[in-house]
Chains A and B, each alone.
Chain A
């Protein structure tokens, strides 16, 4: 059932759940929330590096999905469509946060989430996060989904609406760029 949670092959009952949610069935919508919210939270956190922001984003993404559920074709998989909404919302949210001068999120997270966090680790996180943000948004998304959350290329390709080959080359290029930008913070290969 892992693939159903990651937006690959949906569970067999998923079109039925989507149809019932379309008709306002609370239980069906609740089941979709149960099925996707953990993975959605992990992806949202990958982008925002902040627990509360990530939880808010997941909630917004589910509400947006319910608002637009009529645009999801009958029988289409919910997962890739939902993750696309989530990723777009995450990128927009981060732009909004950046405009509000809150770019230094990882440091704040380190302070708020684990008071005894190792300072070197916090520094690494800050640099990693900064390096990720410096990538093109599609490349960053591929790194977060693939390297951080374990999505497969066909799944990511569906989510981003790009060919699998493009997805692979985004990842390869992004890794090279990240290695360059992390420099001293990286352990030798």
Chain B
């Protein structure tokens, strides 16, 4: 069974009661509290200046600018890579003729061979006119 509530205050506890505060003590305490609170109150009073607004946006602004810069740089670089093209090579440069000038050979193979060169080589291998090809090659060089 629960114990009944003890409703009798302990009379002796009155001995722990605070001494009455004098008017002077009260005023001094008030002044001290308000003086200590002054910096906090001033912080709360300060109106928001345009610098505060700018400062608040500074960090997200910097982050956004950095991201935009990185994206732009990436796009620029990838565009350049995409624009790389194979320079056309004159037929005369890639064909070598034997001393007899009968069988030309395709020498240069760093880049994919030009379709014309392949076709010409095929034609010559099939018994085409060496002289006219040599001529064409030289003409192409001159252009």
Contacts and interface: CB of A to CB of B under 8 A. Distances in A.
Interface of A: 21-26, 29-30, 33-34, 37-38, 41-42, 45-46, 49, 51, 54-55, 58-59, 62-63, 66-67, 113, 121, 124-125, 128-129, 132, 143-144, 147-148, 168-169, 171-173, 175-176, 178-179, 182, 185-187, 189
Interface in B27-43: 29-30, 32-34, 36-38, 40-43
Contacts, number: 114
Interface residues on B, range: 20 to 34
B16 A125 contact: yes
Given A23-B45, A26-B34, A66 B12 contact: no
Nearest to B40: A66
A99 to B, nearest CB: 22
Contact of B26 (A30, A37, A49): A37
B43 A24 contact: yes
Nearest to B14: A148
17 contacts: A23-B45, A24-B44, A37-B26, A38-B21, A41-B21, A46-B18, A59-B32, A59-B36, A132-B16, A148-B14, A148-B16, A148-B17, A168-B5, A175-B10, A176-B3, A187-B11, A187-B12
A97 to B, nearest CB: 16
Contacts of B18: 41-42, 45-46, 51, 54
Contact of A178 (B5, B10, B38): B10
Contacts of A179: 6, 10
Most A Cβ at <10 Å: residue of B6, B11, B45 = B6
Nearest to B5: A172
B34 A189 contact: no
B41 A24 contact: yes
A49 B16 contact: yes
A186 B10 contact: yes
A147 B29 contact: no
B interface, over-half SS: helix
Contacts of B12: 124, 128, 182, 185-187
B59 interface: no
Contacts of B9: 147, 175
Interface in B58-89: none
A24 B13 CA distance: 40
B8 A58 contact: no
Contacts of B43: 24
A37 B29 contact: yes
Nearest to A146: B9
A58 B33 contact: yes
Contact of B37 (A34, A41, A66): A66
Contacts of B8: 175, 189
B6 A30 contact: no
Contacts of A22: 44
Given A29-B34, A59-B32, A143 B26 contact: no
Contacts of A45: 17-19
A124 B12 CA distance: 8
